Structure 1
Amino acid sequence: MDKKTKNEAYPYSSGGWGSLKAVTSILAQEKVTLKGSAVLLHQNKPDGFMCVSCSWAKPADPHTFEFCESGAKATAWDITARRVTHDFFRIHTVSELLAWHDHDLEEAGRLTEPLRYDATSDRYVPVSWQEAFDDIGRELKAMDPEQVVFYTSGRASLETSYMLQLFARMYGTNNLPDSSNMCHESSSVGLKEAIGVGVGTITLDDFEKTDLMFFFGQNVGTNSPRMLHPLQDARKRGVPIITFNPLREPGLISFSNPQSPVQMLTPQETQISTQYHQLRTGGDTAALVGLCKAVIAADDAAVARSAARVLDEAFVREHTQGFEEFARYVRQAQWADIEQVSGLTRADIERAADEYMKSSAVMIHYGMGLTQHRMGVQNVRMVCNFLMLRGNVGKPGAGPSPIRGHSNVQGQRTVGITEKPELAPLDQLAQQFSFEPPRKKGMNIVEAFEAIVKGKVTAVLNLGGNLVRSVPDRNLTEPAWSRVRLTVSVATKLNRSHLVHGAVAYILPCLSRIEIDRQAGGEQSVSMEDSTGCMHGSRGVVEPASPDARSEPFIVAGIAKATLAARSTVDWDAWRDDYRSVRAAIAETYPEIFRDFEARMWTPGGFPRPLPARERKWQTPSGKAEFMVPTSLGEDPDMEEREPGALRLMTLRSDGQFNTTIYSLDDRFRGIKGGRMVILMNRADMASRSLEEDDQVTLQTIADDGVDRRVEGLRIVPYDIPQGCIAGYYPECNPLLPLWHCAKESKVPAAKSIPVRIVARHA
């Protein structure tokens, strides 16, 4: 960031003319104004392509423009007119490109041909597809499978994900981490323990039946803006929405619908949150305990006076276990402690609880503000505890709603992308494909990079994403990544993971989901699962960026065939040529979910996966939904401030960003223009440290492991954030996050509460 960076408050609602301007701008930036406008009409339609951005649900009866600002940016980014050809690498060495900004690397354009790193020239050079497959296969054959990692980003289709997990297991490993490890694995663990399924239970239909919604730690305006449409409809029906979030985010305050002439041509807008509580970073468990305490106290009072119960006593008695232990803990919890940890007053928490007690169908939406903590799984369990008090699981209009990020991150797990062997149908795979799958637990993301740092990983196959940039502890992990023997990256665009490479390194350019996929069996389609557990078909609508790009299934099949050879019972060529054969195999492996897969994949709105918890069938050890007693009110109990003046840093994404992809250096909603090296800070914290707006500082992590973690050149921006808490952008602040600072049980990096100090102030 330089001195040209500006800070200007954004005075408008989300959506509206600001979103239309942003969409127009990105289409012009990528030189696809006319092409992009036509393509967007097919986005999230039953006969078109599913958005390559977030995984929010796709309606059966879509709007004419069934895309949001973020989705339009992702589409424009993929169909850009810019290209990275072999001439690009003749001009630029890898050492030179390492100095480029992440935005500029991807903005260079679409990759057009398979590439291999040449150490002599320090450049990537063209290579044929077959030569790449054969060389990668030779390398993998010579390695111990337990030292090889198969990583999957959330954009890979169900077909690709199924093929990759089968390839990895036939090869001999369960090292199948994916992007869920970095965000919602806390949900997968916590929900599974509480209600027997590792995903949320609501559908789009539930929005029409709910009478109250909560938001915890989810910025819908930036992360899943299409969700604002059902929220707006709910508000028009008078449904209250109560938000708990450290920052005041425009998308959770008000919304102007770009498809509404009235709201576009008048000052009219829809208020989203009816209550907005800016809790302290890491205060969600405390706030939820306070909400439960208010509800249980009201029920105790009702029992004492023989009045109608506040709790759903029949649900608690018939469908749950552990309530009395939980209620005892809640009754004993002290309001002074709840207020101190949450940063909220008792009156505010009780005001939210009063709305809850008046409502009969309640859903709770939450994001990484809950999951990316040391006690992230506990946070998810507390969401379930709160819902179960009044029977708000397994009935219309109610339930937990984790808002997933990447477009098929949930679906990958459904078809076997998991490092946990107990979650994969290994016996079925063994019978179906006549091999013995490995039974040893594989490595998740944190474990994989711990092994990489120790030199115990020899190869990483990186299917999409920018893995090096997304993980914590960058100053430790990037140098270690370059010591890996083999790195293979399947990607549409150049990114940092390709430049911090192994001794043998390949970049394999793949088709985008938006592009027409022609194989020997004709034009192909793929499928994915949205965050409400519905499966959708998707077919590309534009010509490929390059005739030398290949589909993800083609690439996985090619590497698998070269590596496994006669060991495999799969006809990889047949799977490559016609994805219907892959879907037939998926349906055979998972008949309960994917019966009649081919016939149902084009169902408008998708077809739902069976979720027993929706029917109040609990696949837990006890056969009931499980209450949990928290172990602490704080979400990061072993990382509490250890010195006066310590600050809690949370990392976040900007309006001009999706995961590690940075579309622009601006963050419209937060008023940041021209740079990302900023720290958002409460004015009282600034005053106590004699800091002024635009002062430049260095942050250092407070930890006792002997590693000096710091980020320099961060400029101070005054912001409406609770005192003692600060916020900075991801991935720029990743060097401050230790690998070991992750969620207990799920190992999700605890990026929402990092204890830091200011160690230097610069002119």
Structure 2
Amino acid sequence: MKNELKYRPSDQPTGGWGSVRSLVKHSTRQRAYASIPALLREHNKPKGYMCTSCAWAKPGEPHTAEFCENGAKATFWDLTPKRTTPDFFARHTVTELLAWQDFDLENEGRLTHPMRYDPASDKYIAVGWDEAFADIGARLKGYDPKRVVFYASGRASLETSFMYQLLARLYGNNNLPDSSNMCHETTSVGLAQSLGTPVGTVLLEDFEQTDCILSFGQNVGTNSPRLLHSLQLARERDVPIVVFNPLRERGWETFVNPQHPGQMLSNSPTQIATQYHQVRAGGDIAAMMGMAKTLLAMDDAARETGGARVLDEGFIAHHTTGFAEFEALVRRTAWPEIERESGLPRAALEAAGDTFARARSVIAIYGMGLTQHRLGLDNVQTLVNLLLMGGHIGRPGSGICPVRGHSNVQGQRTVGIAEKTALVPLDAMGERYGFTPPREDGLNTVEACEEVVAGRIQAFISLGGNFIRAIPDTTVMEASWRSMDLSVQIATKLNRSHLITAGTTYLLPTLVRSEIDEQATGPQIVTMEDSTTCIHASRGKHAPASANLLSEPRIVAELAKAALPPNPKVPWGAWADDYARVRDEIASLFPRDFHDFNARLDVPGGFPRDVAARRREWETDSGKAHFLLPQALSSSFDDGRDPNVLRLVTLRSNDQFNTTVYGYDDRLRGIHDSRMIIMMNRQDRERLGIPEHGDARLTTAVDDGVLRTLGGLRVIDYDLPAGTCAAYYPECNGLIPLWQYAEQSKTPAAKSVPVRAGPDRAPGSGG
């Protein structure tokens, strides 16, 4: 059933009373009132539990309410008293549930019992834990290890992630795709090539010292609202904040801090962005090149007049390579080309460059608006080039700051969830655990999907997540998924991936982070890594949703015991009894980052990993930071030659975190009661013959023999650059070809998808 859209452009600030009303609404909807006191007392607090939503940093001295609107929604979602029991599955067939919307599936509440799909009745039936583990283990023993995938979403703790990657390698493969492959793998590859580190260089305290903040392709209001506290403090110091983003997002415009009584009473917001540049989707490289061109021109003028240099010549000479080649490219790139590809006038880019040039220390923030393009690496590396021009790496108040999504997606990679063998200490692992680790690189997310489509994957183990809903080419993938022999889904709630069944499918329900994890040695602690590489401890405080739930480390241990031969050097049961022993293992294999792990659990603000680039030490082949050349000014698969092809940006709503949809309100954009929408530039809509308030159909503008189309999208005239449109993820994932991904990283190119738009010939069909 299609919900009736309500749209009224929002003029309300981020935060403020809107966030308070949202908190009340979602706590009421989930009947999770009892969790509200703990939000204030325990959420992201020392000796409390860490949020399961975003990975933004947690301060050493937390605010009274150290949570955001979306963090509260995630907590209510986790701690709801609603339950999805065996009785629920007895009442509904899988075929029936496939017709439900994402929100309705998860809104049924927490899974309470392990379940196995019964093809004869088309229903899930309850199964005992021992029976489930025995059957899964027996099946895994019969497969070719290279044809089994161990996927991990970004919420699992460091302890669980370490055990999971070891399970995969002892089993015989490095097939460890994770959600990072779908979002910031471009960062991991791009920053490593430029700076010698796969992670950002900024710590939370750098925001207190910076003179200028740039943001590219990141929506702070929806994706990392707690960052607004640091941005607000920066603005109170008169720090300029320069934003590049196709949509005007309320989070970058105005903010009322719910923890400032005076601001709440007056509803007088803080203006966040001092410049807001609506770059064309895929045009970020051109915008950065325009800024770089401005810096060179200003530096030329300074040298001619004997003024202070704009470029940090000493830093460039001592710490970098490749500047001469980058400078030559910038100088020969003409302004008309930059303006055309960026969609921005020269004056706007010169204003941004001038602001950058006047700053002593610059922080550059970015999100998936840079990483999810064909030339995503070029996006990231051109932004690094800008920072290197001014020496803004390894200086207090400066650096590169990728904003990660899931709460431990970065940490998983740190402890071994990686398909690339070069990222993992395999020799030490093999010696410690007495086995010969597989040396062949495993499958990343896109490659795993390609293998599923080719019919070469026998089993897929999923540590959390909603894999089939999150990946591109949804329709193609769903059809191929059913040919697999085994699907094992470790989960907290029902989602669509659980309904696309393999020959045998299991749902294994687990605890959430905020629940007490009681094992043989007592209540357990788990850990995670935030976007700034700081490690935090988390202690569950709430009673489990069901007595039948197992913790993720326990589930991984039992799977390992069932599928692998006994190994006295790998005491799975003892590890699951005492997670401190797992942390000792992590410290042994990753001593640089995790020495004295158990002793440092409660360092205020978390303890940071060692990032050499913060000290201006470059772990690259040359021993220096690299200026790297972008291949083109546009990062999109769209070549720009057909004016009827638009670039689709897929994005999240305010009532959403990744594939989890908490409701149908996108309050910050003024969109309510429907997700089947498309935001378009009014002139594009009129030119393409789509009536105002009418329905549109999108069709992917590729010719590869697969028709990818989605209709029933109500059109909203929105403030977007010409040639750019926007619609929701994951509804539009079926429009993204599996082969359209970022070069080298293989991150799906979901931020400038070439599409054709026209009036929907079957209004309300939903495609």
Cα deviation for residue 40 of structure 1 reads 4.4
* Alpha-carbon spacing, 1:151–1:568, altered in 2? closer, same or farther (3 Å): farther
Amino acid of the structure 2 residue aligned with 1:551:
S
Q: Which residue of 2 aligns with 1:456?
A: 456
Corresponding position: 1:708 with 2:707: yes
Distance in 1 (alpha carbons) for counterparts of 2:689 and 2:529: 50
**Aligned pairs for 1:61-140 within 5 A:** 61-140=61-140
Q: Which residue of 2 aligns with 1:388?
A: 388
Corresponding position: 1:740 with 2:739: yes
**Aligned pairs for 1:673-712 within 5 A:** 673-712=672-711
Q: Which residue of 1 aligns with 2:592?
A: 592
Q: Which residue of 1 aligns with 2:479?
A: 479
CA-to-aligned-CA distance 1:437-489 (integer Å, 9 cap, x gap): 11101110000001100001111100001000000001100111111111000
Give the 3-state SS of the residue equivalent to 1:230 in structure 2: helix
Amino acid of the structure 2 residue aligned with 1:707:
V
Cα deviation for residue 364 of structure 1 reads 0.4
Q: Which residue of 2 aligns with 1:297?
A: 297
Distance in 1 (alpha carbons) for counterparts of 2:249 and 2:649: 15
Cα deviation for residue 760 of structure 1 reads 4.3
Contact kept? 2:711, 2:760, Cα under 8 Å: no
Q: Which residue of 1 aligns with 2:34?
A: 34
**Aligned pairs for 1:79-478 within 5 A:** 79-478=79-478
Q: Which residue of 2 aligns with 1:620?
A: 620
Q: Which residue of 1 aligns with 2:571?
A: 571
Distance in 2 (alpha carbons) for counterparts of 1:21 and 1:665: 15
* Alpha-carbon spacing, 1:490–1:120, altered in 2? closer, same or farther (3 Å): same
Distance in 2 (alpha carbons) for counterparts of 1:363 and 1:114: 47
Distance in 2 (alpha carbons) for counterparts of 1:596 and 1:692: 64
Amino acid of the structure 2 residue aligned with 1:145:
P
Cα deviation for residue 568 of structure 1 reads 6.6
Q: Which residue of 2 aligns with 1:754?
A: 753
Amino acid of the structure 2 residue aligned with 1:18:
G
Distance in 1 (alpha carbons) for counterparts of 2:39 and 2:336: 55
Give the 3-state SS of the residue equivalent to 1:302 in structure 2: helix
Amino acid of the structure 2 residue aligned with 1:477:
M
Distance in 1 (alpha carbons) for counterparts of 2:85 and 2:630: 55
Give the 3-state SS of the residue equivalent to 1:713 in structure 2: strand
CA-to-aligned-CA distance 1:131-190 (integer Å, 9 cap, x gap): 111111111111111111100010000000000001100111000010000000111011
Contact kept? 2:174, 2:421, Cα under 8 Å: yes
CA-to-aligned-CA distance 1:559-604 (integer Å, 9 cap, x gap): 0111112257311000111101100100000111111100101111
Give the 3-state SS of the residue equivalent to 1:651 in structure 2: strand
Contact kept? 2:712, 2:760, Cα under 8 Å: no
Q: Which residue of 1 aligns with 2:581?
A: 581
Q: Which residue of 1 aligns with 2:16?
A: 16
Distance in 2 (alpha carbons) for counterparts of 1:352 and 1:280: 16
Contact kept? 1:46, 1:602, Cα under 8 Å: yes
Runs of 4+ in 1 over 4 A off after TM superposition: none
Distance in 2 (alpha carbons) for counterparts of 1:40 and 1:692: 48
CA-to-aligned-CA distance 1:242-267 (integer Å, 9 cap, x gap): 00000000000010000111111003
Q: Which residue of 2 aligns with 1:505?
A: 505
Amino acid of the structure 2 residue aligned with 1:553:
P
Distance in 2 (alpha carbons) for counterparts of 1:455 and 1:295: 52
CA-to-aligned-CA distance 1:378-434 (integer Å, 9 cap, x gap): 111011100000100001000000000000000000000000000111111011111
CA-to-aligned-CA distance 1:650-672 (integer Å, 9 cap, x gap): 10000000000000011111111
CA-to-aligned-CA distance 1:178-229 (integer Å, 9 cap, x gap): 0000000111011000000000001111011101000100000000100100
* Alpha-carbon spacing, 1:2–1:117, altered in 2? closer, same or farther (3 Å): closer
Distance in 2 (alpha carbons) for counterparts of 1:568 and 1:436: 15
Give the 3-state SS of the residue equivalent to 2:410 in structure 1: helix
Contact kept? 1:40, 1:72, Cα under 8 Å: no
Distance in 1 (alpha carbons) for counterparts of 2:42 and 2:150: 32
Distance in 2 (alpha carbons) for counterparts of 1:3 and 1:58: 38
Contact kept? 1:293, 1:330, Cα under 8 Å: yes
Distance in 1 (alpha carbons) for counterparts of 2:305 and 2:579: 65
Amino acid of the structure 2 residue aligned with 1:224:
S
Distance in 1 (alpha carbons) for counterparts of 2:106 and 2:53: 16
Distance in 2 (alpha carbons) for counterparts of 1:291 and 1:228: 25
Contact kept? 1:36, 1:79, Cα under 8 Å: no
Q: Which residue of 1 aligns with 2:608?
A: 608
Distance in 2 (alpha carbons) for counterparts of 1:255 and 1:456: 50
Distance in 1 (alpha carbons) for counterparts of 2:568 and 2:490: 22
Amino acid of the structure 2 residue aligned with 1:724:
G
Q: Which residue of 1 aligns with 2:562?
A: 562
CA-to-aligned-CA distance 1:49-96 (integer Å, 9 cap, x gap): 000000000001001110000100000000001001110011011111
Give the 3-state SS of the residue equivalent to 2:439 in structure 1: coil
Distance in 2 (alpha carbons) for counterparts of 1:327 and 1:58: 39
Amino acid of the structure 2 residue aligned with 1:709:
R
Contact kept? 1:281, 1:725, Cα under 8 Å: yes
Distance in 1 (alpha carbons) for counterparts of 2:70 and 2:526: 22
Give the 3-state SS of the residue equivalent to 1:566 in structure 2: coil
Distance in 2 (alpha carbons) for counterparts of 1:148 and 1:640: 37
TM-score, length-normalised on structure 1?
Answer: 0.99
Q: Which residue of 1 aligns with 2:488?
A: 488
Cα deviation for residue 642 of structure 1 reads 5.1
Amino acid of the structure 1 residue aligned with 2:149:
V
Cα deviation for residue 303 of structure 1 reads 2.5
* Residue range with higher mean Cα deviation, 356-365 or 639-648: 639-648
Distance in 1 (alpha carbons) for counterparts of 2:695 and 2:80: 36
* Residue range with higher mean Cα deviation, 184-193 or 38-47: 38-47
* Residue range with higher mean Cα deviation, 426-435 or 743-752: 426-435
Contact kept? 2:149, 2:459, Cα under 8 Å: yes
Number of aligned positions between the proteins: 762
Amino acid of the structure 1 residue aligned with 2:705:
G
Contact kept? 2:638, 2:647, Cα under 8 Å: no
Corresponding position: 1:723 with 2:714: no
* Alpha-carbon spacing, 1:238–1:218, altered in 2? closer, same or farther (3 Å): same
Distance in 2 (alpha carbons) for counterparts of 1:211 and 1:643: 42
Cα deviation for residue 3 of structure 1 reads 6.3
Contact kept? 1:527, 1:536, Cα under 8 Å: yes
Distance in 2 (alpha carbons) for counterparts of 1:3 and 1:379: 37
Cα deviation for residue 269 of structure 1 reads 1.0
Amino acid of the structure 1 residue aligned with 2:404:
R
Structure 2, unmatched stretches of 5+, are none
Contact kept? 2:362, 2:397, Cα under 8 Å: yes
Cα deviation for residue 706 of structure 1 reads 1.1
Corresponding position: 1:648 with 2:651: no
Contact kept? 1:180, 1:409, Cα under 8 Å: yes
Distance in 2 (alpha carbons) for counterparts of 1:359 and 1:759: 46
